[in-house]
Structure 1
Amino acid sequence: MPQNLGISQRKPGFLKYCTNALVVGLVAIVVFFPNNAHLWAALHAIEPGQYFIAAEDSTGVAAITEVNQQGSLLASGQAQAHFPYWHAHALLGTIPALLHPHPTQVMIIGMGSGGTPHTLGVNPLTQRIQVVELLGSELSVLRQYANTPVGKPLSFLFQDPRYEFKVGDGRRELAITDRQFDIIEADAIQPWRSRAGMLYSQEFFREVQAHLAPGGIAVQWHVGAETEPTFCSVFPHVIRLSIGGLSILLGSDRPLEFDQKGILSKLDTPLVLKFLAQAGVDVEAIRRDVKTAQVFSYSPDRNKSLDGINTDLFPRSEYYLNQPI
């Protein structure tokens, strides 16, 4: 009876044919398959010739594109921030940094375009700013973009020795650290996006509270209806600041006062002016916003009903839960 021949017993011509086919296939892949930059540009629908850089690692994909000297940061395909820094981000950083009398230690969750972390370092008294970002590839594209004219302010951010950049989950960093901070701010994604609930919950704000130094300030962009009652259920003293079209919640263990004159005075000091100039911030616009800001103070004995509060198990804002359609 005829025997089945193994590959090693077949004719040499067959092995040569397989080898040649494999080589041709690999060459075709190299020649016709786009490189990493072209692949991500195509998947982000970037026009030919348009400025585009991208980075990919185990945390995800980050990219920056630029049109008419206006840059956009794309995080996992979604527009997250813009360049030059948005004025809103400059306010989120500058105001709490100048409001606190001595913000030595600062922590911010969320890197984004770098606008909020950068301007949060405006106070010359600040010695250390810890920036925690979940999407590590953002740091790669931001460092690269710092070499461009539009991205130049980022070069000053990355050269500032006070900054410590960590790739990781902000809430985890709070849970494992034994440090206390004078300012803790979360400038994170919108609360209705997937998995955002754990950065807008009562449990998260309690974690922030536990790591604030005496007189420390928690800063939260007031982005949703549930954010306010949740924030107020944790911090005994809260003010809501309406400034420049932005609403900011500030919480502490002590009464807070929006010292308008004090902030305006600090905005006139040479070190502050130099810092904000390097960040590309419109100082005069910040002055106008400070002068017209409106402040609402919450009474410490207000009703702390659980109605409308975000929790880890029930993030009411996530996926637009409980929101009118």
Structure 2
Amino acid sequence: MSTTETTPERPEHSRGGTYTVPGQEFVRDSNYIPTRITRDGADGYPVEAGRYRLVAARACPWANRSIIVRRLLGLEDALSIGMPGPTHDERSWTFDLDPGGRDPVLGIERLQEAFFARFPDYPRGITVPAIVDTRDGAVVTNDYPQITLDLSTEWTEHHREGAPALLPSDPDVRAEMDSVMRRVYTEVNNGVYRCGFAGSQDAYEAAYLRLFRALDWLEERLADRRFLMGDAITEADVRLFTTLVRFDAVYHGHFKCNRNKLTEMPVLWAYARDLFQLPGFGDTVDFEQIKEHYYVVHTDINPTGIIPCGPDLSGWLTPHGRESLGGDPWGGGTAPGPVRDGEQVTAGHNPLVPL
């Protein structure tokens, strides 16, 4: 059975989301490059350590998923990573954080160059995450929901010892997880964007109600289980976490998702802190880049480009008490080791990495 999601998704591009606005309602474009990197190389791209480069901006929630999964599975030696800066223009994400403004492996200034290397007339947004073939500098895929699934299923030869099983082997549990992930995506991951980019009052209010109805459902679901699928982390937790960790910093104010803050939802706030404090989750998050991206790039929502000073982040390190629910986050495996040199979040951009 294919691991492709049944609900299509589409990651950010240069305006913070690829979308159309028919009738003033946000609708995300679901088209992406469907090429896969697999063990058998059926699409022409076999799994091969050292051949590919993951390009993933820390600011982007969709890209943050791939950064987390790569780290949890221990794929650092097999799949290198390039990190564009948090802001960009209408053309592309850029490598402005690297010396000379060029990715040190691909030698390019803009991710757009890798897309054009394969599709000279590529008509859509230049999105992250993307995987690029270092042999010819051409993009392989930007199908980010499939990227993380394939890292779990196709790259197993290169997983670290003790890597967690992010996809359940039990078909019934997997079916339930797919259902949970669909709801999390449509109502929460994409729901915050539906609020933020609504083109009318009615569209915004409908989106707002949908979002908080789903957050209330998650508050109830997680009240008696430590993680979304039970006692151990799964892909579903990765997908929810990248929205929750941005909620108070950007979505509450910038996207008008303001019925309450994450810190005012006791179960979800404790759950998010539990994940944040696990190696592989919080240590991938750069709050300064997140805020800079949303408040600077979305000029139609925030024309002044002013970046808020808050919120206070110290609460992310407070005790969460979720251990009382039992379980083992790693499902019998082990936590990933220290973050690799050169891949650490900038000091002061995260309470785990103080100045």
TM-score by length of 2: 0.30
Rg larger in structure: 1
Structure with higher RCO (Cα < 8 A, 6+ apart): 2
Which structure features the higher share of strand residues?
1
TM-score by length of 1: 0.32
